[in-house]
Amino acid sequence: MSVRIPPFAVVPGSQVHQVLSGQEERVIALIEEAYRVHGEGDTVNPPSYFLRFPDRPSSRIIALPASIGGRSQVDGIKWISSFPENIDAGIPRASAVAVLNDRATGYPIACMESSIISAARTAASAALAADVLTRERGRPRRVGFFGTGFIARYIHTYLHGAGWTFDEVGVHDLDLEHAGGFRAYLERSGATGQVTVHERAEDLIRSSDLVVFATVAGTPHVTDTAWFGHNPVVLHVSLRDLAPGIILESANVVDDIEHCLKADTSPHLAEQQSGNRDFIDGTLYDVMAGRVDLPTDRPVVFSPFGLGVLDLAVGKYVYDQVAAEGTLQVVEDFFHETSRYGDGTAPTTGAAATPGPADGGPAGGGHA
């Protein structure tokens, strides 16, 4: 067997952005396939590891190791920080890198800027869920964004890029300046719909058929079940906004049950309060596979914990595209000690032993 040490490349955010920009439907298709690969058991997705700081309790850095089969065929890890105080300084809360590893040798093949990858996979997951969870209800005409940061912008971009249109777009943020900035983004985006900034959270939720939570909340702050009496679909992306009582009175879909019911997420708190997991209707894959029928007489809440396999699927797609264009920024001689006994007989650096497909994507398109 001939195995060579693969080259190591650095993929900056500019290249990631170039590959993913305008490719919303493509990325949604990648995420849909990744969910199916995960649901069919062709992944390894250990628990995420949280690095917390006693002197900085609001901040954390999370490691998401994973391995995905299917078309992606890659191992790796995302290392993503969340420092909410960054917002006060006018810089994004989150920053991240991802490392991709060659399956044959285990050698890293790339270090990639990953805040864009993370936002894209999160937004694509939300857009896919919005489509899957509203098929029996009809597409919502009124959407509300609770929280107006980087992730909210990406989710709107992905909904718009996938062909969603709305008659009304609601916006709510504790900081009115941030809400105004998001409104300006919406107006620049060319998306349809009357934009309204709501000062009260209740007004936003009651006036929206599709509610997107994208906040930095660490504990539940929305507690009144009556606000959801019109049975909206809720994309609970930030995971800790809803009180357990709201979760228990809703139909609940998650990305992965074991991953989601931990770390004091709202579903985790609901499990602690109820003493069981009966309130979980199933995973998004279960709904896609036709294993779960969702009611129309209750709110439907999608709580995605965020799976490392999704980051790998998008990251590998970006890597393959940049490699196919011949613009990989390879770091020559990155692996200096390549001889086991120091005699220079180790295989030289060369092409990766198990390269993926140039396009890195599944056949067919995603849901519009």
Q: What does the domain layout of the chain look like in residue ranges?
A: 130-303
In the block, which residue shows the tokens 């934009």? 195
Q: Which two tokens stand for residue 244?
A: 């357990």
Give Cα 51 to chain centroid, integer Å: 20
- Rounded to two decimals, the pTM is 0.90
Confidence (pLDDT) at 343? 72
Per-residue pLDDT of the chain (368 residues; tens, 9 = 90+): 567 899 999 999 999 999 999 999 999 999 999 999 999 999 999 999 999 999 999 999 999 999 999 999 999 999 999 998 998 898 888 999 999 999 999 999 999 999 999 999 999 999 999 999 999 888 999 999 999 999 999 999 999 999 999 999 999 999 999 999 999 999 998 887 899 999 999 999 999 999 999 998 989 999 999 999 999 999 999 999 999 999 999 999 999 999 999 999 999 999 999 999 999 999 999 999 999 999 999 999 999 999 999 999 999 999 999 999 999 999 998 998 887 777 765 554 444 444 444 343 333 333 33
Nearest residue to 205 (alpha-carbon basis) of 178, 180, 246, 171? 171
Structure-token pair, residue 30 = 């990648």
pLDDT of residue 367: 30
Query: Are residues 214 and 154 in contact, defined by beta-carbon separation less than 8 angstroms?
Result: no
pLDDT of residue 103: 94
- pLDDT value at residue 66: 98
Max Cα–Cα distance, the chain, nearest Å: 73
Whether 276 contacts 283, CB under 8 Å: no
Write out the DSSP string of 217-279: -SS--B--GGGGTT--EEEETTSSSB-HHHHHTSEEEES-HHHHSSTT-HHHHHHHHHSSSTT
Res 337: pLDDT: 82
Residue 113's φ and ψ, nearest 5 degrees, are -60, 130
Burial pattern 202-222, b for ≥16 Cβ within 10 A else e, equals eebbbbbbbbbbbbbbeebeb
**Strands 329-330 vs 9-11: parallel, antiparallel or unpaired:** antiparallel
- Altogether, the residues listed in the chain come to a count of 368
CATH 3.40.50.720 is the classification of domain 130-303: yes
State the pLDDT at residue 358: 36
Q: What pLDDT shows up at residue 364?
A: 31
- The residues near 341 (Cβ < 8 Å, ≥ 6 apart) are none
Q: Dihedral sign, CA of 134, 139, 145, 148?
A: positive
Token pair belonging to 17: 């952005």
Helix or strand or coil: residue 325?
helix
Q: 162 with 131: CB under 8 angstroms?
A: yes
Burial class (CB in 10 A: 0-12, 13-18, 19+), 84: middle
Which tokens in the block code for residue 289? 């596979």
Cβ neighbours of 249 (radius 10 Å): 15
Token pair of 15 as six digits: 């290249």
Tokens describing residue 160: 């718009």
Q: Which residues of 290-313 are buried (b: 16+ CB within 10 A; e: fewer)?
A: eebebeeeebbbbbbbbbbbbbbb
What is the distance between the alpha carbons of residues 19 and 113, in angstroms, rounded to a whole number?
A: 13
Question: How much is the pLDDT for 345?
Answer: 58
Q: Which residues pair with 101 in a beta bridge?
A: 75, 108
